[in-house]
Amino acid sequence: MTATFREKHPKSNRPRSCSLNWHWQICLAPPNSSGQFTTGPMEWTAGYRLKSHPLSLMTPTRPWHLRELFSREQYLAAAQAYLRGVERRIEAGLNPAVASVASLFISRWDVAVTGKVPGELANRLGIAVAQQCYKAYRELLASARFQRAFNAGARAQRLLWASTGTKDPKASDTLYVKALAAPFTVNTMPEGTLKAFADHGQLGKILAPDGGECERVLSAFGEAGIDTETLAAQLQNEGAASFVKSWNDLMSCIDSKAAAMRKAG
């Protein structure tokens, strides 16, 4: 679904019109067998190949949530598409202060490799991937490209840690909160994790901007037979499919209740 908004160009009184997708959440999913990107539920408004999908028609009154990200490469594709959209708004003389977050899913990595790696690597893959992404994120914020946009009024797109509830009952229930404490990030903790951290959580060292030991840890997973690139694509596909199913289930429920109300009324 699309909508049209009209925004006055700051250098004139003439309103500028453009068409944009009204949805505020974006799930990154590959195209279907027909080569079309999924556009059904509100989350599904852009495809995995974001290099060809700059978010150039963003409205500054609505935040943008780019989700279902599982790797540095997927994060950078999303972040660069967002930044290209901001740059195009600047070129057009429009307000570039568009709020946005890019969600990186953490615990699903560790669930996916449970029982497939040596014990010393248990519950370490998600954190290593997050460290690698955080390094890329901080490098982007420090880049001349982003600084030019920032000086023109743009906002930083925040890196968001998603799926931060511990799935392994043998691990700390605040594992991903303690490990991923870092400036300029958001952590969307499940309620149980939030309560656990309020009760007994402790913060360790702040996440290193240079990624810390992530490359060494990721190399260890590679030696253990884990292809992180292939797994990232698999996790993204599964995540997108799960959200599509949830949306379709919701729509079916609404249709059923609406039909019942029409029959009763």
User: The whole model's pTM is what?
Assistant: 0.78
Residue percentage of the chain with pLDDT more than 70:
77
Residue from 229, 180, 225 nearest 201 by CA: 180
| Entry field: residues in the chain | 265
**pLDDT over threshold 80, residue 260:** yes
Res. 137 pLDDT band, cuts 50 70 90: very high
Task: Give the H/E segment covering residue 187.
Answer: strand 185-187
- Condensed to tens digits (0 to 9), the pLDDT of residues 26-82 reads 444 333 443 333 333 333 333 334 444 555 456 656 788 888 999 999 999 999 999
Domain boundaries, the chain: 20-264
Contact 17, 3 (CB under 8 A): no
Q: What is the pLDDT of residue 59?
A: 60
pLDDT at 169 over 70: yes
Number of C-beta neighbours around residue 173 at 10 A: 18
20-264: what CATH class?
alpha beta
Percent of the chain with pLDDT over 90: 69
Exposed (0-12), middle (13-18) or buried (19+): which is 265, by Cβ within 10 Å? exposed
Is the per-residue pLDDT at 212 higher than 90?
yes
Averaged pLDDT of the chain: 82
**Cα–Cα distances in Å, from 134 out to 17, 56, 75, 202?**
36, 25, 10, 21
Q: What confidence score (pLDDT) does residue 27 get?
A: 42
